[in-house]
Amino acid sequence: MKSKKVPGFSRPSIFHKVMQILEAHHFRLPACRFVLDLFDKRVLQQIVLEEEDEQEDDESSESDSDSEVEHTELNGAKAPS
């Protein structure tokens, strides 16, 4: 199957669905490896890099809001709840 370069094995959305199925059921390790090896390695890289980007965005927005609260408290005003 992999030698035919099926386009579905290069889509992150399909990879996510396959991972959900593998997680929900108990498959033996060789079967899981076989299924995961069908996917293009770039799919996993895309997923990992997107998650890292999302985490960096979340952390930067949290640190921005924390610095606003600290700045407000330093000025003597009460921070909003």
Asked whether residue 79 is assigned to any structural domain, the reply reads no
Asked whether residue 63 is assigned to any structural domain, the reply reads yes
Asked whether residue 56 is assigned to any structural domain, the reply reads yes
Asked whether residue 43 is assigned to any structural domain, the reply reads yes
Q: Tell me how far CA of residue 49 lies from CA of 13, 30, 52, 64, 70, in angstroms.
A: 15, 26, 5, 23, 31
**47: pLDDT confidence band, cut at 50, 70 and 90?**
confident
Distance CA 78, CA 60 (A): 23
Asked whether residue 59 is assigned to any structural domain, the reply reads yes
Distance CA 19, CA 57 (A): 25
| Domain that residue 44 falls in | 2-73
pTM over 0.75: no
Asked whether residue 53 is assigned to any structural domain, the reply reads yes
Total domains in the chain come to 1
pLDDT tens digits for range 34-45? 998 888 888 888
